[in-house]
Chains A and B, each alone.
Chain A
Amino acid sequence: MDKSELNEPNKNKILVKKLNLFYKDYQALKSVNLDIKANKITALIGPSGCGKSTFLRTLNRMNDLIEGVKVEGTILLEGENIYGPEVDVANLRKQVGMVFQRPNPFPMSVYDNVAYGPKIHGLKNKRQLDEIIEKSLRLAVLWEEVNDRLFKSALGLSGGQQQRLCIARLLAVEPEVLLMDEPSSALDPISTLKIEELIQVLKKDYTIVIVTHNMQQAARVSDVTAFFLNGELIEHGATEEIFTRPKDQRTEDYISGRFG
């Protein structure tokens, strides 16, 4: 099914209400409320330690893996509380996938990297797998560059190709939301622009949340920008508004490079 049929325009994909997060005694997120729109790119910006990556990781419960983390409040994905007791976290992470700062392909072939997820989820049919691999690689705008070396090690790809491979690997399990934690911070400028272009293409079918330290990147790629400071969501709104006329002085100071 075409995913865009599921994602109506301006529909909220994720609703975050009064979210608090503690690392033991330290409160890393303070009563964060944010609606994340379907088929939009939301950029999270803020200085180091402001809570933006922590917030991103709450959206697919990656913080559960850290000892001593306590989460309060609710996060509704399509109306379902992802912190509810019946939630299958593995399934949640399939729905809400994540791309990390450094490309982390598995030490196996390009093909096997992308096939990994579908296989884990029980798909064995070779023809179907082939189809998924081609489709995912095409979606990640990598197919043309790797279709003659599908069975060679993914570690031989360039950094930018590896990152797009990681995105293809994610797309192979048909997620709905893509979380990206500084996905191009380890890449050269051209690879960065390719990733940004890819993100633009993907938003047709996916809801994307991206953490970035690069303000120009947030301005270039996102529809909505949210500014975090000391664990609080200070301001969020249309990216154009945030970057031309922010309402809060702290946002103004941060995006104009006056602190942080």
Chain B
Amino acid sequence: MNPRSSFDKALIEIQEDIFQLANLVEQAIYNAVQSLIKLDPAGAAQVIMCDEEIDELYAKIESKCIKLIATQQPMARDLRMVVTGIKILLSLERIGDHAVDIAQATMCIRESELNRKSSEYLTKMSRLVQQMIKDGFEAYRERDVQKAQEMCTLDDEVDHIFTKIFQLLIDNILADPKSIVQSSYLLYVSRYLERIADHATDIGEAIIYLITGERKKLN
């Protein structure tokens, strides 16, 4: 008989909950960027509403982690599992908040259409950060250090696009001062996506710590 079977069950449950949260968050980024590109305020409002669900799930999983620390005194890998669980949760919750930030920016843009080039860049950034989250959670599920490391390299691509879109938006403002409102919001959005990639990298680092017990700085 495994003397820790109920504890093991609780750990697995936490992990499954985290996957569920990751799915919600990834979907929120997609929806946020899509509603921005389509300039769809209803879609953006939906993203903002969904954040409540993310926050609730976040609080629920965090409580489970705290309860395990208080009642089970996890050690070694178990301890790393619970501690990285809390770290990953926090990163996911922040990513969720950035999805809301993007949705709020969408609601502030009054124009009927988005600058084409910027929308291309933002779509690309969105795909990359969604990929980071997907790969990260695959690495988490499979306890795959290499996959976690590889996922973090996508952060450089995101940073690269961020530099490009930044320049593009500045150029747009200089060329057409009337575009300043839209361009400023898009600057914010690109910055949010860039921050999301950083949080995804933090998740990658947490996964590596979970697996190896070693701290690695990946961005």
Contact = CB atoms under 8 A, between A and B. Distances in A.
Interface of A: 215-216, 219, 243-246, 251-252, 255-259
A18 B76 CA distance: 29
Contacts of B4: 256-258
Q: How large is the interface on B (under 10, 10 to 19, 20 to 34, 35 or more residues)?
A: 10 to 19
A256 B2 contact: no
B206 to A, nearest CB: 14
Contacts of A243: 75-76, 79
A255 B3 contact: no
B41 interface: no
Contact of A252 (B2, B7, B73, B76): B76
Interface in B1-40: 2-4, 7
B160 interface: no
Contacts of B75: 215, 219, 243-244, 255-257
A236 to B, nearest CB: 15
A130 B189 CA distance: 77
B157 interface: no
A124 B130 CA distance: 81
Contacts of B212: 245
By CB atoms of chain A within 10 A, which of B2, B7, B75 has the most? B75
Interface in B21-76: 73-76
Contact of B2 (A219, A251, A258): A258
A229 to B, nearest CB: 15
8 contacts: A215-B75, A219-B75, A244-B75, A244-B76, A244-B213, A251-B76, A257-B3, A257-B7
A134 B74 CA distance: 42
B101 interface: no
Given A216-B73, A244-B79, A256-B75, 11 more contacts: A215-B75, A243-B75, A244-B75, A244-B76, A244-B80, A244-B213, A245-B212, A246-B76, A252-B76, A256-B74, A257-B4
The 10 closest A-B pairs by CB, nearest first: A245-B213, A255-B75, A257-B4, A256-B78, A256-B76, A252-B76, A256-B75, A243-B75, A255-B76, A246-B76
